Structure 1
Amino acid sequence: MYAPEVEGRQYRGTWFLPLRYDELKQAGETEEYPDRGEGGAFRLTDLPRVPRVGHIVGPSAIMLGASLGSGETLFWPVLTSQYGWTLLWAFVIGVLTQFVINTELQRWTLATGESVFRAFARVADYWPWLFLVGGLVSLGWPGWAAGAAKVGTTALGLSGSVTLVGVSIAAWKLIAVGLMVLIWLSYHVSSVMYNAVEVFQIGLLFVSIVAAVLLLGVSGSWIELADVPNAAATVGRLPPGMDIAVFLGGLAFAGAGGYLNLSQSLWAREKGYGMGNYQGRVKNPFRGDDPEPIERDGFTFPPTRTNLKRWRGWWRVVQLEHLLTFVFGLFLVAPALMSVAIHYAPGTTADALQMWLTDVAPVLGPLGTVLVFLVLFVALFTTEYAIVESFVRNSVDAIYEVYGREAGWDLQTLFWRVLTGFCLWGIAIILLFTSPFEGREPFFFLVVGAAMSGVIMWPYTALVLVMNTTRLPEHLQPGWTRVVAMWWASGFYGYFSVLLVGNTLVELGVGAFETAPTVFGSGIGGYALWAVFLIIQSYAVARSATAKHRADGTVADAELAKGRFP
């Protein structure tokens, strides 16, 4: 059941174990194997032995890095500075909800080796395209590189403009462009693209966490943590006049959020989790190494007693990796930064970046100021790095699975082209964009991206719930506790998405779409939005519950695969 130490260490640098794919037997269309849907048959082989948690750390560390520069450094500190600890309940719920979503996103990959986008394509070809468009809208704005650059120019006293070829360009824009180029260049370091990202992200993450903890001690703001228990009385309440766009952005970024979360599946495949061990990795086409096949149709294992016990072990270590890295990391860093914001910028009216740079940093003394700049710069940069990686990897996989594979495209070359194109797109946006709120460009980018991230979490959470209950056999399905948690997650993001869409339409002059938080009192169009939400949510609940009941007792010894929070 468990991998020996030598075998387990192979996962530290990602592990791919090639098999003679065409010689493997095909899984039958029975209740013991995943439903192939619109795709081909899965190939049968045993589930790999289970490594230790310490051997597979990586995917959740990248996700944590993606989280620090968004909600944990910007949205939540500014929200708590304005409203105190009264919104802490929403942060905690957001993180725990994303824990469930992220691990469910890994379930299909762990069970079949396929990415979540291949799983979506098995349902219908349009799903990957829809999420790709949503990803571009939410992550196509390089607000984190812009924010990191703004911090850097302030720290170094480089505010102002630089004239190049007769054109005046803000200094922060030039630094932001440099950061995008640095991200692009870093992919040349390793023959396996994922390895470079993991090493850089873990290094940046270590600096950011240490600096945040030191800032808490140096600033003396740790005394604010004593008021946290009093926040229990505010659970479930929103302060009057709360901006729904900012709040939904905070919920989405209580963690990574949005399109970023879908990367958890692909990083699990690249790392070699479960059946992903046989599926291959995206290689660097310029390093001369032979490419590895990413098979169109993945693998599955016969439900023998040994494989069922291995599944239970894999599910345990995958959850522990995400809990100990992602969840505990967020619960360590975010409250530390929130307490600093509450202590030094209570009731601020500035945006998050301005709060840190003008309200907090100047009053902390030399060491505290340096730590603020270090935390902000590293957190924002590591988030932009993760966003580039996430968008490119997700989008390449979606394009390749839906169109590129049949067209004969090379996956590695496609990755490099999308990476280069996305970096150039970001550079163009940084250089050319001027928002209606002059001087607030970076935070404007962030609010747009965050709100859209919250909206797209609703449909993919519902889709993953239905997919994992209707397409997977009994021993691989989520347990009832997880199913209920996913009902909650889908309803949670769906509810706030409807409020945001309604408020946005009202601001655009379409008053009929006003959506009231209590539902009653909404406009005619608002009631239509609530009706759509109710129909979709009811469908997801009914389909998943029915599938769970139908699967009960269909696989012998299925209980051997069930551990804690299965």
Structure 2
Amino acid sequence: MSDGRPGSDADGSARSDALDDSDDSDESNPHPSASAPSTEPSVAGGDDVYASEVEGKQYRGTWYLPLRYEELEESDDSDDYPESGEGGSFRLADLPRVPRVGHVVGPSAIMLGASLGSGETLFWPVLTAQYGWAVFWAFVVGVFTQFLINTELQRWTLATGESIFRAFARVGSYWPWAFLVGGLISLGWPGWAAGAAQVATTALGLDGTVALFGASLATWKLVAAALMGVIWLSYQVSSVMYNAVEVFQIGLLFVAIGAALLLVAVTGSWVEFADLPAAAGSVGTLPEGLDIAVFLGGLAFAGAGGYLNLSQSLWMREKGYGMGNYQGRVKNPLRGDDPEPIERDGFAFRPTLTNLRRWRGWWRVVQLEHLLTFAFGLLLVAPALMSVAMRYASGSTANAIQMWLGDVVPLLGPVGSFLVFSVLFVALFTTEYAIVESFVRNSADALYESYGREAGWDLPKLFWRLLTAFCVWGVVIILLFSSPFEGQEPFFFLVVGAAMSGVMMWPYTALVLVMNTTRLPEHVQPGWARVVGMWWATGFYGYFSVLLIGTWLNGLGVATFRTVPTVIGSGTGGYLLWAGYFAVQAYAVAKSAAGKREAAGTVADADEAVGRFS
């Protein structure tokens, strides 16, 4: 019986790499070469749907299975395949067999690492120190809302092998540019490296200034600049640049989680959890006097947030999940390895019984990977750190970094202080690491798909140059920035980036909802429960974004744009902002509902692809 997989490159080799690149031996290639995928549906037995142990292990690194792209049949305009929009047709290939969840852990671990140094270490401990468990409901809602958004961001890549930015470009060429600008505004400020450096210098007793080239610089600035250099150097370890990030991030993640749990044990802060049930009555309410910018930053970073979330699509492609298995990986141009093509117009699979059942299996696996790693990881670590903040910094009005270093550490013994320093440093550093990775990978892909491919640019070289430029930019900003808020420089960076990330999530959540329900065929569309969930997500981030925008404008002296939580009582311009919000929400709901209705019954046996929470 055929294994149902399309062939590989001309020499029949499948490419699979861990951090140290493995050789392409016959033993690591479970798929024989073939000129094209089978056009006949396979008998849907277990071996046709699920990968063997040998095959599944290929996903523990990154896996690329090249195809003879030009020889593959092109998709037509029928309801069986994704709509091409402003792009070319897809090439047809079978969906790869489904690995076990234990074989595919990686992208969500990086996302968890990105989350620890933002909302989970900074914003939410500050909020709970000030307001107690009364705001915890918003954290839980934020985590599961981001779980839903992140998995919907993965859907297009799993089904086509294309990045989310290529999908956006099919809708309109301006979308990748818009999110690129938003990403620079929200992530272009190296606040997490600055925060990690401040923690390190305080722990080591190196507070103060040093003379450099005739200028006096704060010690933390030099340490932060050095951390940016360490991040840049780490990318040179592996020929597949994603692999270095994954290995280093997972290692740092274990350190951060272990230190956080030990901190709870050493400080006895677990007693704070006894008050958690009493906070159930506060669900849906906001405490009076809550800083809306910090709160929206917390919502955006109840998880990674903003531009960071878009990386889920690209990390999936790098790992080789689903149809992304047939796309190349971004290689390090300094290592001299052969480049791997990332096709502009990706792939689609025929809706045979086998492929439909494989889709159901893949969707279950990627959801479980994200739930068990990202969502449950956050719900384990974040409340632990919140309990410490409530026990030792209750009522503190300091910013997050000053709260930990100025309020909490002085009350702890040597072991507790060491653990606080360890958690903060590692969490902030992992977040900065993930931000560099996310910004560079997203921006390189957005630039490449919007302009660079047609201009003849090389994606790996573009990635490497952006990596270098972004790290240099971070060093320059750290060294030159002088904040008017004395003593709050790192946290100032964080609030600006976090709030902008929250605002950014509103438009791309609505766009992904509409795209996945109107441009994907019936068998890979989100189910109605997920569609309703995305209606909620769009409304959720849109509501708080309008509140924040109105608050900002009011603070700048434009009182007419003042917005209030109840809507009624806003300024004249504020009502215009609310009108825009309701218009966007109405469009997203109507368009997605119409897409679902129009696709219903258009693909034979589409129910074979439907699983729990499809």
Normalising by structure 1, we get a TM-score of: 1.00
Q: Identify the match of residue 505 of structure 1 among 553, 568, 592.
A: 553
Q: Percent identity?
A: 78
Instruction: Find out whether 1:533 has 2:597 as its counterpart.
Output: no
Q: Which residue of 1 aligns with 2:217?
A: 169
Deviations 1:421-466 (A, max 9, x none): 1111111110011111011000000000000000000000000000
Deviation at 1:226, TM superposition (A): 1.1
Residues 1:207 and 2:255 aligned together: yes
**Which among 238, 246, 266 is matched to residue 218 of structure 1?**
266
Which runs of structure 2 are paired with 1:25-174 in the superposition (5 Å)?
Answer: 25-174=73-222
Q: Residues 31-430 of structure 1 correspond to what in structure 2 (within 5 A)?
A: 31-430=79-478
Name which of 418, 431, 446 aligns with 2:494. Answer: 446
The corresponding residue for 1:470 is 518
Cα offset, 1:149, TM superposition? 0.1
SS at structure 2 position matched to 1:163:
strand
Alpha-carbon offset, residue 42 of structure 1? 0.2
1:430 aligns to what SS in structure 2? helix
Cα deviation code 1:340-389 (max 9, x no counterpart): 00000000011100110011112110100000000000000000000000
| Mapped pair 1:435 → 2:450 | no
Q: CA deviation at 1:411?
A: 0.5
Partners in 1 of 2:319 and 2:369 — Cα distance? 12
1:252, CA displacement in angstroms?
0.2
Q: Partners of 1:167 and 1:65 in 2: how far apart?
A: 35
Instruction: Report the secondary structure of 2:335's partner residue.
Output: coil
- AA matched with 2:52: P
Amino acid of the structure 2 residue aligned with 1:508: L
Whether 2:66 is the aligned partner of 1:18: answer: yes
Aligned-partner Cα distance in 2 for 1:11–1:270: 10
Match of 1:9 among 7, 32, 57: 57
CA distance in 2, matches of 1:210, 1:286: 36
> Is 1:493 matched with 2:513?
no
* Matches of 1:142 and 1:296, distance apart in 2: 32
Mapped partners of 1:192, 1:552: distance in 2:
41
**Amino acid across the alignment from 2:428:** L
Which string of whole-angstrom CA distances, capped at 9 and with x for unpartnered residues, describes residues 231-267 of structure 1? 1000001000111101000000000000000000000
CA distance in 1, matches of 2:487, 2:249: 29
Give the Cα–Cα distance (whole angstroms) in 2 for the partners of residues 519 and 233 of structure 1: 23
Q: Secondary structure at the match of 2:63?
A: coil
- Report the Cα distance in structure 1 between the residues aligned to 2:88 and 2:278, rounded to whole angstroms: 55
The residue aligned with 1:459 is 507
The alpha carbon displacement at 1:554 in A equals 0.4
Question: Which letter maps to 1:361?
Answer: V
Paired AA for residue 148 in structure 2: V
Count matched residues: 566
Could you tell me which of 474, 483, 492 is aligned with 2:531? 483
Q: Deviations over 1:192-233 (max 9, x none)?
A: 010000000000000000000000000000010111111100
- Mapped to 2, the partners of 1:165 and 1:236 lie a distance apart of 54
Give 1:223's aligned amino acid.
V
Name the SS for the 1:407 alignment partner.
Answer: coil
Q: Deviations over 1:472-517 (max 9, x none)?
A: 0000000000000000000000000000000100010101001111
Aligned to 2:216, the other structure's residue is in SS state strand
Residue 166 of structure 1: how far off its partner (Å): 1.0
- Name the amino acid aligned to 1:41: S
Q: Measure the CA separation in 1 of the matches of 2:604 and 2:274.
A: 52
Deviation at 1:151, TM superposition (A): 0.1
Structure 1 residues 517-556: aligned runs within 5 Å: 517-556=565-604
SS at match of 1:493: helix
For structure 1, the 5+ residue unaligned runs are none
Cα distance in 1 for residues equivalent to 2:564 and 2:219: 43
Deviations 1:257-306 (Å, cap 9, x if unpaired)? 00000000000000111000001110010111101000000000000000
One-letter amino acid matched to 1:99: F
What is the CA-CA distance between 1:119 and the residue it aligns to?
0.1
Structure 2: how far apart are the matches of 1:525 and 1:312? 47
- Deviations 1:397-441 (CA, angstroms, capped at 9, x unpaired): 000000000000011100011111111111111001111101100
For residue 321 of structure 1, give the secondary structure of its aligned residue in structure 2: helix
CA drift at 1:164: 1.2
What is the alpha-carbon distance in structure 2 between the residues aligned to residue 288 and residue 352 of structure 1? 44
Q: CA deviation at 1:111?
A: 0.1
Give 1:165 deviation, angstroms: 1.5
Whole-angstrom distance in 2 between the partners of 1:472 and 1:274: 15
Shift of 1:169: 0.8
Q: Unpaired segments of 5 or more residues in structure 2?
A: 1-48
CA distance in 2, matches of 1:507, 1:227: 36
Whole-Å separation in 1 of the counterparts to 2:288 and 2:350: 55
Whole-Å Cα distance in 1 between the matches of residues 439 and 423 of structure 2?
24
Q: Aligned with 1:169: secondary structure?
A: strand
TM-score (norm 2): 0.92
- 1:310, 1:544 → 2: CA distance? 25
Residue 565 of structure 1: aligned partner: 613
The structure showing larger relative contact order (alpha-carbon pairs under 8 Å, at least 6 residues apart) is 1
Matched residue type, 1:270: E
